[in-house]
Amino acid sequence: MRLSELYVHPLKSCRGNALNEARVEVMGLQHDRRWMVADGDRFFTGREFPRMVLIETTPDADGITFNAPGMAPLRVERREMRESVPTTVWRSSFNALAGSDEADFWFSDYLGANCRLLHIGEDTERRTNMGPATPVGFADGYPVLLIGTASLAALNSRLDTPVTMRNFRTNLVVETSEPFIEDSWRHVRVGDIELEFVKTCARCIFTTVDPTTAMLHAAEQPLATLNQFRRTDEGTMFGVNLITRNTGVLRIGDAVTVLD
């Protein structure tokens, strides 16, 4: 098995960046979900604001540049983000950093709702809810999401219009021959990076937002079809949540080995 696709989403709910290689940190892939838009304890995602999937990001060591339809490019420096503010992602409450008035106005204008741009630093107090207490950014719960290609193929075989991995906002895509085999992996090594399984990933209405047009599917696909054969007491599952056990670099083509 090989790593066939690699993505980061620097802003929570933004368009994903396809990469050839990515540095793996304790918090997951470098730059992944380190920025978020929020209004107090209410964090903004594509569930409520589908237009967020059209926001393109270019992160670097000093900050990030945002682009969106109808908007002038926005550059935000990390050094601007100095104000510690409380925020929440689902059941997890923690402090993040705010401070760019220009960014707050830019996102409020684009989304049509008052909000602030937040950044999460390497010294965040946020930790995963299950498994070893591992630092995590603004992801829903865990640092890394992985999906096998055979799982997507099994879903697409049931759909009139196929979808892509971008609908599921994954980090790692692994070439597999058996659908949902990744659900059974406890520990896996991708290149030199070891990853530990935490739980399967419950999916929501966000999967029905077209990642290219930001339009919601009228028949709530692919979620409606997933509900027919992947529904459990914990939710409708597609993909697996992982934590990293070491740091290093991942590259497209890296060998994938199931350790147990």
pLDDT digits (tens, 9 = 90+) for 81-126: 999 999 999 989 999 999 999 999 999 999 999 999 999 988 888 9
Sign of the torsion formed by the C-alpha atoms of 104, 109, 111 and 115 = positive
What average pLDDT score do residues 231-238 get? 96
Sign of the torsion formed by the C-alpha atoms of 129, 134, 138 and 141 = negative
CA 226 to chain centre: 19
How confident is the prediction for the chain on average, in pLDDT? 96
Instruction: For 123, list phi and psi in degrees, rounded to 5.
Output: -95, 20
For residue 256, pLDDT beyond 90: yes
- The number of CA neighbours under 13 Å toward the Cβ of 183 is 14
- Superfamily name and number for 138-258: PK beta-barrel domain-like (2.40.33.20)
Asked if 28 and 244 touch (Cβ cutoff 8 Å), the reply is yes
Which helix (DSSP H) or strand (DSSP E) does residue 111 occupy? helix 101-111
* Cα–Cα distance for residue pair 102/108, rounded to 1 Å: 10
pLDDT bin (cut points 50, 70, 90) of residue 234 is very high
For residue 131, pLDDT beyond 80: no
Closest-CA residue to 117 (of 76, 79, 158)? 76
Domain ranges of the chain: 34-119, 138-258
Contacts of 142 (CB under 8 A, 6+ apart): 128, 130, 131, 134, 136, 198, 199, 241, 242, 243
Contacts of 165 (CB under 8 A, 6+ apart): 5, 7, 147, 152, 173
Asked if 94 and 118 touch (Cβ cutoff 8 Å), the reply is no
pLDDT bin (cut points 50, 70, 90) of residue 129 is confident
